[in-house]
Amino acid sequence: MNEGEPGRRVVDGRFELESRLGGGGMGTVWRAQDLLLHRYVAVKEVRPPDIDLAEYDPAAAEMLRQRVLREARALARVEHPNVVTIHHIVDEGVGTYPWLVMELVQGGSLADRLARGPMAPAEAAHLGRGVLDALDAAHAAGVQHRDVKPANVLLRTDGRPVLTDFGIAAIRDATALTATGSIIGTPDYMAPERVSGQSGGPAADLWSLAMMLYVAVEGHHPLQRGTTLATLAAVLQEDVPPPVRAGSLTPVLSCVLVRDPEGRPDAWTVGRMLDAAAAQPEDRRPETTSYRLAPPTPPSLPPTDGMQATGSRRRPAAKRSRGVAVASSVVGVLLVGTLAWKVLPGGNDKNGSTASPGAGGQTQQQTPTPTVSATQSSAAVKTQDMLTPAGIRTAIKAFKDKTGSDRFGGFSVYPGYVMANVMVKGSQTRYVSYIYRSGSGFDAGGGSKSTLLDDEKPVNLDDFDWDTVPALLKTARKDLKVDKPTSRYLLLRMPSIAFNTPAAMAIYLVDDYGSGGYMEATPQGKVTRVMPSDG
């Protein structure tokens, strides 16, 4: 770069820097004027966090330079209106860092937009379709983005999205520049397969896109934790909780945000679903469907009978045909996805059964077959609403009797059953997951094992005043403004060392459209936060 006149910063004798547009750990983006063509451009100045890197680690500095050049080449290979256009690159050789000269997108970023509040589902679906088109073009050119997130989606003044920052893009046959063992990407939006060390394919970019849309409509990240390590662990091990505000976008999120990349639909199917979500009025109830849905496998249960559990759905472990397996039409895709969310925990009726369409589109009640103890009669099983003080205490006693432990690392209560992570006796980190159903005891196939995140600590459920639950449910019905809730449940909020937050319980109410809200309270039942439905 040359300075030119005093007070002026001119790159390559041509691009005059005017104002800073943004920046991060790897440099700064400037608004600049092209003095030759008399137009405004964006100039990316690449600078590592350690400005002395080239001096004490020239190999790493050269790797960074090559990575930036790779970004330029990646962008140059993708010609699409939803991908930022690169005009020029300034490279002075070994020992320097390049400058990228790109088109100036003047509507800010999606991150800027979300800072003002969540998006409506149809709006998010429309934006998501534009980003998907950009990814399609990139994938067709052999480029994976690998860092799809709100900050990397720019908005034109008319709202159209533009995907940028291909700096960590993986180009087929040219991936050796990714340092072994390094975290390449933003942990919050990385797909599970990439967290586990795999390079990931186009399906990993689809996960990142879906997670970005989840954040856009829900207003929070479902797996973000207090530390990078804890977030990575959550992405790798935890199921994505059902959204409560996603509306018509819910089917897309339900199909894509599953751990197994083979279980995700392809880009064509996702595109059709986004089109349907963008076109559907938010106050319109989806029509009924004759597609049959099997009873769901709860998230904490391991795969059984040759099937692989993938979040909210069950799919064959073997590779399956994309698109056709989701639905045979856009409407079918939308409706199957909607019903898939409805049979998740929280979508049950007060007895814990789930609605499943029968032949000819008629709805019949199906209850997943539990394991009944020898002393119970399958002909007459006494049930109770578990989302009551008595029901909760019954479940807690059952967990204690089964395990001999009174410490818990997770606790979720639904009208028909309770899921709990019960700590291994004597351990502060290891737990076993169980599901207890009203009147029938523990599910077969339970007992999956895991560990708490590094910033969590177990709790004693005797410290909670469960007698306050009825009053909390009554307050939630009044304050969450969910007109006709068809799903209600209680989730334990684990205490966080990183955020210095205590344990809490949260009441959720959701209606048939996937719209809902939640309310948090202390273990003693004092309401601390109300997040009502947006209608």
The single residue of 136, 147, 239, 443 carrying the catalytic annotation is 147
- Looking at 324-378, list the stretches that DSSP marks H as alpha helix, in order from N- to C-terminal side: 330-342
Q: Which of 417, 447, 412 is nearest to 432 (CA)?
A: 447
3-state helix, strand, coil in the chain (%, to 5): 30, 25, 45
Q: State the number of CA atoms in the 13 A half-sphere of 107 facing the CB.
A: 16
Token code pair at residue 335: 């409706």
Query: Bridge-partner residues for 139, per DSSP?
Result: none
The helix or strand, by DSSP H or E, that contains position 365, with its residue range, turns out to be: strand 363-366
- Residue found by looking up tokens 């590592």 in the block: 48
Signed CA dihedral, 349, 351, 354, 357: sign only: negative
Query: Residue 178's CB: how many other CB atoms inside 10 A?
Result: 15
**Strands (DSSP E) along 25-169, which ranges?**
27-34, 39-46, 86-90, 99-103, 143-144, 153-155, 161-163
- Residue found by looking up tokens 């059709």 in the block: 272
CA–CA distance, 321 with 203 (Å, rounded to integer):
14
50 is catalytic: no
Token code pair at residue 425: 């006796």
Residues noted as catalytic: 147
